[in-house]
A and B are shown apart, each in its own frame.
Chain A
Amino acid sequence: MAYKSFDEINEKIKSGKAVVVTADEIVDIVEEKGISKAAKEIDVVTTATFGPMCSSGMFINFGHSDPPIRMNKVWLNDVPAYAGIAAVDAYIGATELSETKGMEYGGAHVIEDLIAGKDIKLYAESYGTDCYPRKEISTYINKENINQAYMFNPRNAYQNYNAATNSSDRILYTYMGTLLPQYGNITYSTSGQLSPLLNDPTYRTIGIGTRVFIGGAQGYVAWEGTQHNPGQTRGENGVPVGSAGTLALIGDIKMMDKRFIRAAVYEKYGISMFVGIGIPIPILDEEMLKFTAVKDSEIFTNIYDYSVPNRARPVLKTVSYAELRSGNIELNGKSVSTAPMSSLKKAREIADILKQQIINGEFLLTQPVSAIPAANKMNRLDVRGVENEKD
Chain B
Amino acid sequence: MKKIKVSLFYPAGDVSKPITYHLVKDFDLVINILHADISLNKMGKLVLDIEGEEENIEKGLKFIDEIGIKYKMFTKSIIWQEDDCVHCGACTAVCPSNALKMDKTEWNLTFEQEKCLVCELCVKSCPLNVMCVSL
Which residues of A pack against B, CB within 8 Å?
50-52, 177-180, 185, 187, 262-267, 272, 274, 325, 327, 337, 339-346, 348
Which residues of B pack against A, CB within 8 Å?
86-90, 92-94, 102, 104, 106-108, 121, 124-125, 127-129
CB-CB under 8 A from A178, the residues of chain B are 90, 93-94, 121, 124-125
What is the chain A residue whose CB lies nearest that of B123? A267
- What secondary structure prevails in chain A residues at the interface with B? strand
Q: A267-B124, A267-B125, A340-B102 are in contact. Are A177 and B90 (CB under 8 A)?
A: yes
Q: Is the CB of B129 within 8 A of A265?
A: yes
Q: Is the CB of B93 within 8 A of A185?
A: yes
Q: Is the CB of A345 within 8 A of B129?
A: no
CB-CB under 8 A from B128, the residues of chain A are 262-265
What is the chain A residue whose CB lies nearest that of B129? A265
Bound together, the chains give a CA A187 to CA B89 distance in angstroms of 9
Q: Is the CB of A185 within 8 A of B87?
A: no
Q: Which of B88, B94, B124 contacts A274 (CB 8 A)?
A: B88
Bound together, the chains give a CA A187 to CA B91 distance in angstroms of 11
Q: Is the CB of B86 within 8 A of A341?
A: no
- Please give the distance in Å from B111's CB to the nearest CB on chain A: 14
Q: Is the CB of A348 within 8 A of B107?
A: yes
Q: Is the CB of A343 within 8 A of B124?
A: no
Q: Is the CB of A346 within 8 A of B124?
A: no
Q: 22 interchain pairs (CB within 8 A)?
A: A50-B86, A50-B88, A177-B90, A178-B90, A178-B121, A178-B124, A179-B93, A180-B94, A265-B127, A266-B127, A274-B88, A327-B102, A339-B92, A339-B93, A339-B94, A339-B102, A340-B88, A340-B89, A343-B89, A345-B86, A345-B107, A345-B108
CB-CB under 8 A from B88, the residues of chain A are 50-52, 274, 340-343
